[in-house]
Amino acid sequence: MQQFSAWVESTRLSQALFDTTWLWPACESLHFVGLCMLIGGAGLLDLRLIGLFRGLSIRDVKALMPWAIAGFVINAVTGLLFLIMQPHLYLGSAVWWSKVAFLAVAATNALFFESRLAVPALALAPDADTPRPLKIVGAVSLFSWFAALYCGRMLPYLGTGN
Amino acid sequence: MAFFRSLQDSAFTDWFLGSSSIWTYPTVLTLHTVGMAILVGASFVVNLRILQVGSAVPPHRLRPLYRFVWIGFAVNLLSGVVLFVTQAADRVADPVFGVKMASIALALGFGLWVKRRAIDPPDAPHMTDARSRALAAAALGLWTVAIVAGRLMAYLKA
Amino acid sequence: MEELMIRCRHLALVLAAAVVASIPLAAHHSFAMFDMDKDVTYKGMVTEWKWQNPHVHFTVLVKHGPGVDLQTVGTWDVEGGSVNIMARQGWTRASYKAGDPIVLVGHPMKDGSKGISLFYAIRPDGTRLYHDIARPKDDVKKGDGK
């Protein structure tokens, strides 16, 4: 891993990006904005899936999803930039890989919802309580996004190694 | 100024910033990020609706979302005060910190204004009025400024 | 009232501009400014020691003298990592204090200003105190970093 990181950091792309002084802080700011968009949009849907906010139909809440996805895309792009600029901070870190795992769980969970549970969910009445599978999907989603946030923010303190 | 200097140079600061436990500085910092996600996330959703995204949602039904605005704000006020105490003298003299505080105050103020106009009334119309939309747009911009200012503070510290 | 709205939006823009304008100021100690490819050895004395999160900081004074590399002379602002990460590498609050001699290897600022990104310190017994898990690429000696 250390060799791969060293190789990436020796590339012209990596150096040109990292030498652009304002880029790293700008990516950090965008990464925070993106996570607020993501947790705001996906969070409301997740809370509705759990059974809160009854009176809002799932169909109506899903109208916000493009914005949550936009937040996710912003974070995927800025995340990739961090990785290209300073891979050694991440690739050898158990904390970072944990973050990736939580993100993978969140994404898989969302895709599972979309492909298997969305149709009956959309048919629910606005006031209806949600069946257990939806509650689980919502809870897993919320937990995973916040767990990813925790891992990311704690990285400079929990360690860049094992 | 001497008061802020005494906070920054206090035994508490020395212990809090010098502790190698993850439960002190790292945890408070992470709580601040969690609070931001909840506070700005909830504000983001409300402001989006005011700007007519998800216009099928009756605005009044989003009133419970403000519970999360207050929870996020409370978490960040508490964690923020702790962090502030440990850098009090530096922050008080820092214009970027001033921008952050002003942006948050304005964003919250606009959020409350929007709440009263377009969310609180049980018969709040689906089509929000122009003033509410202007307030919501401004609030979104202000939250962004607050986040950017918060990040830049870390770079001015050294 | 509409005028107030327009003024508020202007205020938001002004605040945004103020933040953006402060970015050049903010660049002073950004990580990107260190020449991470250069490992330079500095031998001097600690003049200020700050064992605190989010970054351990200390100032090192390198005096002129016989055999002293001229490029290392001066008062340097050395930046380390978080207290948590450095503690894991063996650093403690008591590792150094103002007045202690120190030998360290670090990466200086690209623009020549007196800042160093800490790589490792060398203790009197020859063992190394690394800032984090990174080790020299061509390091053949084993067992030095505790």
The single residue listed with the structure tokens 């990292």 is A18
| Chain A neighbors of C27, CB-CB under 8 A | 21-22
Q: For residue range A9-53, list pLDDT tens digits in order.
A: 889 999 899 888 889 999 999 999 999 999 999 999 999 999 999
Task: Give the number of domains in chain B.
Answer: 1
Q: What is the pLDDT, as a whole number, of residue C133?
A: 87
**A2 falls in which pLDDT band (50, 70, 90)?**
confident
Question: How many Cβ pairs within 8 Å bridge chains A and B?
Answer: 96
8 Å CB contact of A29 and B148? yes
- Which H or E run includes A143? helix A132-158
CA distance C79 to chain B (A): 9
Name the burial class of residue C71, with classes exposed (0-12), middle (13-18) and buried (19+) by CB atoms within 10 angstroms of its CB. Answer: exposed
Q: What is the pLDDT, as a whole number, of residue C27?
A: 43
**A162 falls in which pLDDT band (50, 70, 90)?**
low
The answer for A 29-48 residues in CB contact with B (under 8 A) is: 29, 32-33, 35-41, 43-44
Task: Using the predicted structure, report yes or no on whether residue A83 has a pLDDT greater than 70.
Answer: yes
Q: What is the pLDDT, as a whole number, of residue C146?
A: 39
Q: What is the pTM of this model?
A: 0.90
| Structure tokens given for A118 | 């969305």
Against chain A, the chains showing at least 3 CB pairs within 8 Å are B, C
Chain centroid to CA C95: 16
Q: How far apart, in Å, do the first and last CA atoms of chain A sit?
A: 12
DSSP-assigned beta bridge partners for residue C44:
C102
- Domain extent, residue B79, equals 2-156
8 Å CB contact of B19 and C23? no
8 Å CB contact of C26 and B155? yes
Buried b (16+ CB within 10 A) or exposed e, A46-67: bbbbbeebbebbbbbbbbbbeb
Task: Using the predicted structure, report yes or no on whether residue A130 has a pLDDT greater than 70.
Answer: yes
**Out of B36, B38, B61, whose CB is closest to A55?**
B61
Mean pLDDT for A74-87 is 96
- Minimum CA–CA partner of B25 in chain A: A157
The answer for B 21-60 residues in CB contact with A (under 8 A) is: 22, 25-26, 29-30, 33-34, 36-38, 40-45, 48-49, 53-58
8 Å CB contact of B147 and A25? no
Name the burial class of residue A3, with classes exposed (0-12), middle (13-18) and buried (19+) by CB atoms within 10 angstroms of its CB. Answer: exposed
Q: Where are the beta strands (DSSP E) in chain C?
A: 40-50, 57-62, 74-79, 101-108, 115-122, 128-130
Beta pairing, strands C115-122 & C101-108: antiparallel
Contact A113, A28 (CB under 8 A): no
8 Å CB contact of B142 and C12? yes
Q: What is the pLDDT, as a whole number, of residue C33?
A: 82
Taking 50 as the pLDDT cut, the residues of chain C under it are 25-28, 31, 140-146
- Minimum CA–CA partner of A30 in chain B: B148
Give the number of C-alpha atoms closer than 13 A to the C-alpha of residue C11, restricted to the C-beta side. 19
Q: Which range has the worst mean pLDDT, A77-81, B26-30, B66-70, C11-15?
A: C11-15
Residue A12 is classified by DSSP as H
Separation of alpha carbons A130 and A121, rounded Å = 8
Q: How far apart, in Å, do the first and last CA atoms of chain C sit?
A: 67
CA distance C16 to chain B (A): 6
CA distance B132 to chain C (A): 10
Question: Domain segments of chain A: what residues?
Answer: 2-158
3-state secondary structure B72-137: HHHHHHHHHHHHHHCCHHHHHCCHHHHHHHHHHHHHHHHHHHHHHHHHCCCCCCCCCCHHHHHHHH
Q: What is the pLDDT, as a whole number, of residue A160?
A: 66
8 Å CB contact of A28 and B29? no
The single residue listed with the structure tokens 């600690």 is C46
| Chain C neighbors of A156, CB-CB under 8 A | 54, 81-82, 85
